[in-house]
């Protein structure tokens, strides 16, 4: 089973490298009539790096899920091609971060083979994660982007701390709920047909709710607030099996969000732009309107790589603002059409399905909750940015995982992937041992 799983992983990496090569060839051909072997070189480098990572996984995690890494590599290939289409220098930076992400991916696997050690330091991890979230408001190092405090710059180093804090918060919540899940269930009461958690253990939900509301006010980041609270509700449901807890949590979030939208000017402006973008079509509403127009212009099959307009002809002014970050999904729809966008979304859905499969196979509570939380926060982040550019929800500053330009995002998500594969390797190994669950032998492929 080990050999078969790793062979499938290796075979899945080959079409990913071919797709990246074809994407680069299409972009290069759109820029000029002559196509050289540059795209083949890029494809060969990408395949070589992925194969080296595969060999490492074959040695260190022989039982791990065989599809998660190729799917993540596919998203990375998507991002490299689109960022290269926008700016070659940005693509080189993205490629460097991709390699750095793989290095940290390997270090995480090497150093955390016994990942349950994270439970011992859950409060330290939680404190560090909260400090990272607050860092963008610190004078001298904090950076404000479009009204939200998202970045930190220390000398030549700049990063978005929310990308790393999401992993730490999931670790803390998984450990805490694993320990207290029984008291949340046993002490629950039914009031008017609704199951309520015991009052003394209702505090954690209120604390996480208050933290997410605080993020809305203090760092003005609606996307991260929604992402963290939604991941908490997913973990709470898996830990207790009580859907009423999720309903209560959603009601609390909506109530708090409504109050903050009504009282905090920046959050109110974000919601107004979402609801009425035409009121300031040449001002604050310009980005979301151009995003919608770009997607509509792509049609079913798109205009082709390199054919979409991201700047106004004859000028350097952006026709599609922040095309490499916030609105990269709109550029993908414009150049690859609805079918290309559906392929991208299907990749995220497949990763989500495989991640929840890992959680189902895990035998201990912490592993199950950790895999659930990591998968949930990854999927919700993709939803938040895609929902923002399609006007399903207000547009926020989070990145599209593995696709948007940004070193913090790609590095943090490779650490997230490493943790998922660590859980997967243990779960599949235990299931394959004599006396292990037969369910995994038939369904883990």
* Rounded Cα distance, 406 and 195, in Å: 43
CA torsion 74→80→85→88, rounded to 10°?
Answer: -160
How many other C-beta atoms lie within 10 A of the C-beta of residue 389? 24
Which tens digit of pLDDT belongs to each residue from 101-159? 999 999 999 999 889 999 989 889 988 888 888 888 777 777 766 666 677 888 777 78
Which residues on neighbouring strands pair with residue 149, listed in sequence order? Answer: 144
- Asked, for residue 254, whether it belongs to a domain, the answer is yes
In a domain, 234, yes or no: yes
Question: Is residue 409 within 8 Å of residue 163, measured between CB atoms?
Answer: yes
What is the three-class DSSP state of 23? helix
- Given a contact cutoff of 8 angstroms between Cβ atoms, the answer to whether 51 and 59 are in contact is no
Answer whether 335's CB lies under 8 Å from 307's CB. yes
Cα separation, 439 vs 426, whole angstroms: 15
Total structural domains within the chain:
1
| CA dist list (Å): 344 to 196, 295, 298, 338 | 39, 14, 15, 10
Residue 298 domain flag: no
3-state secondary structure of 315: coil
Distance of CA 163 to the CA centre of its chain: 8
Q: Answer yes or no: are the C-beta atoms of 231 and 173 closer than 8 Å.
A: yes
DSSP 8-state secondary structure symbol assigned to residue 405:
S
Q: What residues does 159 pair with on adjacent strands?
A: 152
Q: How far apart are CA 445 and CA 443, in angstroms?
A: 6
Do the domain assignments include residue 167?
A: yes
188: in domain = yes
Q: Report DSSP state, residue 280.
A: G
Instruction: Please list the ranges in the chain whose pLDDT falls under 50.
Output: 438-445
3-state secondary structure of 159: strand
343-351, long-range: CB within 8 Å, 24+ apart, which pairs?
344/75, 344/78, 344/403, 345/386, 347/71, 347/74, 347/75, 347/78, 348/75, 348/379, 348/382, 348/401, 350/67, 350/71, 351/68, 351/71, 351/72, 351/75, 351/375, 351/378, 351/379
DSSP assignments along 119-140, one per residue: GGGHHHHHHHHHHHHHGGGSTT
Burial class (CB in 10 A: 0-12, 13-18, 19+), 346: exposed
Q: What range does the domain containing 217 cover?
A: 114-263
Say how far residue 322 (Cα) sits from the centre of its chain.
18
Tell me, what's the pLDDT at 438?
Answer: 46
172 in a domain, yes or no?
yes
Estimate to the nearest angstrom the gap between the alpha carbon of 248 and the chain centroid. 25
Confirm whether 197 is domain-assigned: yes
Within a domain: residue 379?
Answer: no
What span, in angstroms and rounded, lies between the C-alpha atoms of 213 and 225? Answer: 7
């Amino acid at each position: 089973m080990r050999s078969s799983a790793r062979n499938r992983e290796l075979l899945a990496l080959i079409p990913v490298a071919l797709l990246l090569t074809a994407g680069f060839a299409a972009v290069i051909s759109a820029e000029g009539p002559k196509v050289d072997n540059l795209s083949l070189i890029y494809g060969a480098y990408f395949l070589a790096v992925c194969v080296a990572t595969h060999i490492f996984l074959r040695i260190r995690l022989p039982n791990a899920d065989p599809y998660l890494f190729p799917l993540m590599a596919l998203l990375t290939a998507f991002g490299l091609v689109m960022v290269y289409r926008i700016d070659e220098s940005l693509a080189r930076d993205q490629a460097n971060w991709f390699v750095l992400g793989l290095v940290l991916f390997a270090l995480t696997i090497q150093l955390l083979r016994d990942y349950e050690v994270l439970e011992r330091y859950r409060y330290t991890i939680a404190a560090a994660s909260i400090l990272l979230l607050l860092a963008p408001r610190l004078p001298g190092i904090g950076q404000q982007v479009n009204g939200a405090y998202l970045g930190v710059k220390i000398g030549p180093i700049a990063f978005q701390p929310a990308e790393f804090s999401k992993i730490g918060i999931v670790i803390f919540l998984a450990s805490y709920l694993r320990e207290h899940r029984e008291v949340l269930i046993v002490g629950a009461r039914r009031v008017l047909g609704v199951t309520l958690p015991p009052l003394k253990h209702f505090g954690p939900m209120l604390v996480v709710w208050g933290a997410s509301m605080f993020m809305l006010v203090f760092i003005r980041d609606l996307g991260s607030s929604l992402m963290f609270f939604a991941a908490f509700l997913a973990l709470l449901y898996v830990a207790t099996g009580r859907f009423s807890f999720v309903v209560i949590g959603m009601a609390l979030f909506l109530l708090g969000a409504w109050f903050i939208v009504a009282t905090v000017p920046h959050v109110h402006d974000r919601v107004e732009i979402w609801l009425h973008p035409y009121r300031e079509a040449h001002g604050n509403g310009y980005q979301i309107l151009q995003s919608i127009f770009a997607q509509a212009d792509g049609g079913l099959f798109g205009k082709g790589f390199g054919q979409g307009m991201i700047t106004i002809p004859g000028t350097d002014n952006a026709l599609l603002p922040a095309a490499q970050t916030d609105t990269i999904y709109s550029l993908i729809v414009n150049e690859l059409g609805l079918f290309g966008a559906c392929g991208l979304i299907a990749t995220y859905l497949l990763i989500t399905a495989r991640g929840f499969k890992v959680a189902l196979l895990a035998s201990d509570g912490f592993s199950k909750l950790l895999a659930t939380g990591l998968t949930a926060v990854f999927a919700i982040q993709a939803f938040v940015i895609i929902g923002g550019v399609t006007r399903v929800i207000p547009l926020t500053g989070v990145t599209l995982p593995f696709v948007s330009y940004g070193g913090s995002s790609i590095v943090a998500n490779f650490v997230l992937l490493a943790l998922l594969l660590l859980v997967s390797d243990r779960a599949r190994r235990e299931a394959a041992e004599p006396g292990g669950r037969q369910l995994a032998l038939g369904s883990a492929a």
